[in-house]
Every structure is written in structure tokens, then in C-alpha cells.
Structure 1
Amino acid sequence: MQKAKNSLLLFTHKYPFGNQESFLENEIIYLSQAFKQIILIPEETETTKRPVPENVETITLYDNLKFNYFFLFIRYLGKAIKYFSYSLLVEQKRFYYIYHVIPYLKYLLSSIHKSKIIEKYIQSVEKENCLFYTYWFLRGNLPLAILKSQNKIPGYISRAHGYDLYDEQQGGLVPFRAFKMKHIDRLFPISRLGANYVKERINKQLRSKITPAYLGTRDFGISPYKDTTSEIITIVSCSNIIPLKRVSLIINTLSLIDFQLKWHHFGDGNCENEVKLLAESLPENIDYRFWGRISNIELIEFYKNNQVTLFLNLSASEGIPVSIMEAASFGIPAIATDVGGVKEIVNEQTGILVNSDASAESIAQTIISFIDSDKNSIEFRNGVRNFWKDNFEAEKNYNQFIQLLHNTVSTAS
């Protein structure tokens, strides 16, 4: 791929620090091939740091950043009133700004301050030869919108996933959405559902800025498979162990199954101890293991070397889970709750959708029915992999996305 003249400033939550945003590990490979230089700007850092391509540099702009909101209010009073008033006047849910004035004002003040830090840093950057890209529609986005409104940067683009996109996951409203959409060049939700969701909540004149862009996973081949009448059923789940992901519902579901079964869960979280305690009540026919948070490479090796019958995701809310993409790339069918954009990857060709409020009893029966169905076959697994290849293969999706980025640069310049 021919490199663009542009550099890329990519604003993340923590990546490349820690273990979060693992899906960026795929995207960064393709971005590094398309841009001469990439500068990562994480909002938070950790002690561990993942390797990145040679032309990727990490800048920590916010180290030891603490906010004195009284000082910030005095310093940025005029700007805060201007941006807050705009949102209060044009947002569909303007009453939220009144009910939540303190947290929203803090978010705004901290974003104004971060915009000043970014502005100072980019004085050394050829802004006209640079694309500004924030990976989340919540984190990192408002400071760039503020800079664009002041003509301090030529423009910026953003992805939008789940918690940063849906009002319900923000307690009622994604704050300052109208202001961000006014100043953003392009927004790329990771699902068609997410794109339509935002379009319904913004001014019609701004809807052309929104284009869905799927994430993707790399091709590591299909996983081992034998006739499961002679093999123990193996179920995998992969998520943070937090209330939203409802790992406890998986345990309650598996407790109702009476045949031999292995369950592997990958991921950790603040409900881990509680969930592990609940798992101790599983019957003896359920052999389980909590792997904790492992590297993506280790997870891929597990899929390559183990027969997995079924992937299970019972989250209360999702974008499109990369965990399901990874499983599908190996031909592993999924049973998942019909939430967010999940239906864009779990369907009759790839598995079974269950209602978001489905009981443990009904989900257990769905698993039992799956085991005895034609979907538990090598033919169906080949179809799962083909669907993944057509829709969620990394090389295809990220090259298409990069072309969209270059088109954005050309339009903005």
C-alpha cells in the first residue's frame, strides 16, 4: 500500500499501555502501513506497554494531570458558557444539561483544558499535513471539537463504539453530541445500528458525516473440529467481568445443563471475586476455568489448538463484539443476546440470537438444542468462517477504512 503524505495523531483511552483496546492491535498494523508517522496520545497510562510498529510514537500529554475545577471555571468561564449554552439550546435532551450541570460542566472544563495542552503540543506538528483521529466518541473527542471550532486544527475524525455512543450507557445522554457533530469531519460508528442511532439524534444536515465502518480480526485459520458426539462440549466466553457483561447469567445458565461440559472464560474485572464464588456452585459435570486477562496472542493460540463448540455472549449491551469476530474467524458458532449491533454478526448463518431479557432456563435450552442441531457441524462452521471473511476480515475492513481516511484528508485539504 502506498503511504500517504499525512501523519496521523491517534487519541486513545490507554493504548498502547495496559491491556485494554486490544482491537487496536489489529488496526494499528494497517494504519502504520498507510501513514508515514503515527503519534499515539493516550488519555491514561499504565506501567505495561505493548509493542507497536516502528513508525508509531507514543506521547503522554496528560501525565500527572489534576483538575482544580474552581480554577478552571474562573479561567475558562467565557468558553464554558459558550459551549454549554450551545448544547443547552440545540440538544434534543436539553433538560439533561440542567439536571446534570455539575458533572457535565466538569467534563467540559477538563476538555477545554486538554484542548489547550493539545494546542501547545501541535505547535511543533505540521497540522495541515496531519490527520487527527480519536478512537472514542467520548474520550478525546470534545477537546478536538473545541480546537476545530477555534480553527486550531484543520479537522478530525472519530470512531464510535458502544458506551461512547448510546445514551442508555451514559445514564441518559452522551454529552455534547451536537457540538461534536457540528465540528467533526466524519464519524465512523462500528455498526450500522450505531450509525442509525446517531443519525436519529442529530440535525439532518449533519447526517452525511456518519459512515459505519466495521472493525476486523486477522485470519489464523479454522479451529480443530471433530464430531462432538465423541468430544466433550467446550464453551468459551470472553469479556470483562463487570455487571454489563452478565457473566453471572452464563453461570446460572450452565448450572441447568446436565451433560459433561467445559467452560473457559477469558477476561477479568471488578466483579471477578463475586462471579468466581458463584461458579463454585456449578454442578460437577461443568468443568470450568477463569483465565483472567491474557494477551490476544495467547487467546488466538487457544483457538488454534483447542476444539471450541460454541462461543457464548450474554451482555446487556454491546457495539459489535470483537470477541465474537475472533471466534467466528475460527468457524466457531455463537449464541448471543440481541443487543446493540450483535445481530450484524450473529444470525442464521453464524449462530443463534436470544432475547436480551432471556432467562437462564431458555438460554440453557437453546444451548442444548444447538448441540443436537445441524449448526453443530463442520459444514455450518465453514459457513460461519465465510460470513466472517465477507464482513469482518481485518485486511479487507481496515484497508477500506484507510481509504475513507485518505478521502477525508483530501476533502479537508
Structure 2
Amino acid sequence: MTRLLVITQSFPFGNRIDFLEDEIGALADAFDTITLAPTSPAGECNDLPDNVDVDMTLCPRLTRGRRLRSLLSFPAVRLAAREMRLHARTMARPRQLARALLSVGGAAAVTRWYRETAVGSGRPSVVYSYWLTESVLGIRRADPSVPIVSRVHGGDLFLERHPGNYIPQHESLLRACSAVASVSDRGHSYLVERYPMHRDRLHVRRLGTRPFPASSPSADSTVRVVTCSSLTAVKRPVLAAEAIVRLAEDRNVVWDHFGDGPLRPEVERVVGEAHAGARSPGRGSLRFTLHGAVPNTDVAEHFESHAVDVLLNTSSSEGVAVSMMEALSAGVPVVATAVGGTPEIITDGNGRLVPPDPDAARIAEAIAVVADDPGPAVARIEFWRRHYAASSNYEQFAQWLTTFLSDEAPCPPR
């Protein structure tokens, strides 16, 4: 019997967009049984295939207190000493030292959890971690021969996205895996350049989405823009608001945003000031709706029932954004910053790239150009089908995971 253990963050709980929601069906077809072990579940559990169960015993092991207590074990002390030796200058900062110790303690806690779980419910045939976290190192310490495969996205990949350009135990996490699958060519190249000694275990395995209903462009002169992201600093929603306000100086604009976060008041302030300072009618107008955090089905329904001319993404760092894949599947062009894996998905005919650090005027100009000449929607839909369709990408990924079932599957040394 083939058993797959999947380490997740919140899946299968909550209503946030999660690629695993589409991937789990393909995994369930490829393995006899699957156990999901979320590290931070929240909300209600979603429906799952019959051969998938959920282990809720990992999450309580990863509280701050349990992590710190786990540091008292000899292996954890040794790991902590190694991390402090390798990153002595970084460890001089109390916040970075705390991050390192919590990561090492987390790995030790996972080691103990895995040993108890493998005895109680059976040793997995393959371990799949959706994020590259200390869980892979903890499992490797407990089981030197089990195949471990991890995806790597953005926050768990690019050191520059973190204070001090530091991700605790990053190289050790890679070394613990039998294979690491980046979701983008950019991510793969980054890892190969930084860790050439692990080149043979680094791969590209793309994510994918279900198709959105086809959307239509505006039939009038209004430019209808959609943004879909958390309202956090890395997504730069204030910059998006400033760009759309700039566009609305001489165009009629309808802007719908899906998502919420701490920068919501700032976004509302920018739009409010634009309305308060609006000049005489006829130059342009802006109608803004902030839908907040909603199920993905609501976003799909909006694309189906409303005209959409452009999806805008202003992130300062990105893996491959789900919103871009979904927009292309609906035939909608994208304007986005050229960061992370975005240049792989936004090419000629799909939309327009702007520099990684553009000003509002540059973004507004790009939106206007794309809205005025979007090109054929069918080409964007076909591009999505070839590269980012969930049905094919996840079936291929699940079959790739089964190749690690053989005795010859590559595993790292102890």
C-alpha cells in the first residue's frame, strides 16, 4: 500500500485560495492513502477525497513554547550551534537569533512527532511538503531513508524577502530533501546559482488553476480593472491605488479589488482623496469597490458576469500569482511588475510588464495601452491551457511523486 504524507500550512481548512485544493484529487488518484498534516489550520475543514485523512497532532507541537522546549534535546543543541556558527554575524541580532532558535526547535518537535506518527499510523512511502520549512529537516532526522519532496515558492525561497536576507537553516532544508520543486524557472535558477552543490535535486514543477469562465472586455470607453491580493506591503496596494487614480484623471475607470489586509485604510485614503479633489465632470471618473476577503468562487463569478479589461498586479516579490493564471484562463490581459516568476507568465500577447519598481504614471500608462489594444483573448486562454492548467500540471506532478516509491529513488545522505 502506498502512503503519502503531505505537510501543509492551513489546507484543508479555511476558504483562502490554495493550490492544494486542485492538486489533492490528482494525488488521491496516485496514492492508496494520503494523510494531511497542517501546521496552522484555521476555519472549517473542506471536503476531501475518501482516501484522504487529516492528522491534527502536528500543529500543537509547533507552538512557540513547544519549539523552545524542544531545543533542550541534544540534536537540537547541535543544530542550533551549527546555525550560529554558519551565520555568526546574523545571529548577533536578537530577532534573527530568535528566528533561528524557533526554527531549530520546530525541526526537533517535528522529529519527535514523526517518530510517534510513523509508529502509530504507518510509515509513509513518500513525504510531500507544500512549503520548504523546518518540517522536512525534522522528518529527515527521524527517517534517513524516506523520500522527501518539497515545493518551493517565494517566501520560502528568496532570501531577500526576509530581514537580514536570512531564512533559518535554508541550505540544511534543501539538503534534507530528495527533490525540491520550484514553481517557476526564476526560482529554480535562483537556487541553482546560490546552492550549486544541490543542482541535481532541483527541479521545476509548475502550479496550475482551474479555468475561469471567459470574460468580455468593456463595450464602452470605460476601463474596468481588477486587482486580487492581500492588502499587505509586499503586494503594494497603495501603489496600485495611486496608479488607478492617475488613470482616472482622464478616463472613466471601474476598479474592483478582492482581498483584505492591514493596508486597507491607506488604499481607502488614496481613493477618498481622489474623490474629494475631483475636478469638473467630463475629465474622468473612478468607481471603486473593495470586496474584501471572499471565496474564490466569488472572484470567478465576477469575471463571468462583469466586463474585465485588465488584471493589475503590483507586487514587489512574487512566485507565480494564482490571480494571473486565472485571469489568463478567462482571456483577460495582465499588467504586472517584472518580479519573481511573473515574466514567465506575462509575455507578449498576455499583457504588459512594468519595471520592478515603477511609479504610478508608468503603471497607469501600461493599463491604458493594454485596455486600448488587448489582443486576442483566445491566445491568452491557449497559453494558460499549455502551461498552467491544473488538470494536466497536477496529474504530471502526482505521477512524478510516484517515481520516488522505487528503491532506486534518490535520497540524501544522513
TM-score by length of 2: 0.89
Are 1:173 and 2:166 an aligned pair? yes
Instruction: Structure 2: give runs of 5+ residues left out of the alignment.
Output: 279-284
Once residues 68 and 363 of structure 2 are traced to their aligned partners in structure 1, the CA distance between those partners, rounded to angstroms, is 51
How far does the alpha carbon of each residue in 1:99-131 deviate from its partner, in whole angstroms, 9 at most, with x for none?
A: 43332022211321132122211212332x521
CA apart distance, 1:221: 4.5
- Structural mapping, 1:2-401, within 5 Å: 5-65=1-61, 66=63, 67=65, 71-73=69-71, 75-76=72-73, 78-87=74-83, 95-99=89-93, 100-127=96-123, 130-138=125-133, 142-151=134-143, 154-171=146-163, 172-204=165-197, 206-225=198-217, 228=218, 230=220, 232-257=222-247, 258-283=250-275, 285-373=285-373, 376-377=374-375, 379=376, 381-401=377-397
Once residues 23 and 196 of structure 2 are traced to their aligned partners in structure 1, the CA distance between those partners, rounded to angstroms, is 31
How far does the alpha carbon of each residue in 1:253-308 deviate from its partner, in whole angstroms, 9 at most, with x for none?
A: 11112211111111111222332233222346111111111112222222222221
Once residues 155 and 68 of structure 2 are traced to their aligned partners in structure 1, the CA distance between those partners, rounded to angstroms, is 29
CA apart distance, 1:69: 6.1
Q: Report 1 or 2 for greater relative contact order, CA contacts < 8 Å, sequence distance ≥ 6.
A: 2
Once residues 299 and 48 of structure 2 are traced to their aligned partners in structure 1, the CA distance between those partners, rounded to angstroms, is 19
CA apart distance, 1:404: 1.4
Q: CA RMSD in A?
A: 2.2
TM-score by length of 1: 0.89
* Amino acid of the structure 1 residue aligned with 2:223: I
Cα–Cα, structure 1 residues 265 and 332, in superposed 2: closer, same or farther, change >3 Å?
Answer: same
Cα–Cα, structure 1 residues 325 and 71, in superposed 2: closer, same or farther, change >3 Å?
Answer: closer
SS of the residue 2:6 aligns to: strand
Once residues 91 and 199 of structure 2 are traced to their aligned partners in structure 1, the CA distance between those partners, rounded to angstroms, is 23
SS of the residue 1:40 aligns to: strand
Once residues 331 and 134 of structure 1 are traced to their aligned partners in structure 2, the CA distance between those partners, rounded to angstroms, is 32
Cα–Cα, structure 1 residues 69 and 318, in superposed 2: closer, same or farther, change >3 Å?
Answer: closer
CA apart distance, 1:45: 2.0
* Amino acid of the structure 1 residue aligned with 2:204: P
Once residues 260 and 233 of structure 1 are traced to their aligned partners in structure 2, the CA distance between those partners, rounded to angstroms, is 6
Are 1:412 and 2:412 an aligned pair? no
CA apart distance, 1:312: 0.2
Once residues 69 and 359 of structure 2 are traced to their aligned partners in structure 1, the CA distance between those partners, rounded to angstroms, is 51
Once residues 68 and 346 of structure 2 are traced to their aligned partners in structure 1, the CA distance between those partners, rounded to angstroms, is 49
* Amino acid of the structure 1 residue aligned with 2:214: I
Once residues 164 and 310 of structure 1 are traced to their aligned partners in structure 2, the CA distance between those partners, rounded to angstroms, is 29
Cα–Cα, structure 1 residues 125 and 64, in superposed 2: closer, same or farther, change >3 Å?
Answer: closer
2:3–2:33 CA contact under 8 A, matched in 1 = yes
SS of the residue 1:281 aligns to: helix
Instruction: Structure 1: give runs of 5+ residues left out of the alignment.
Output: none
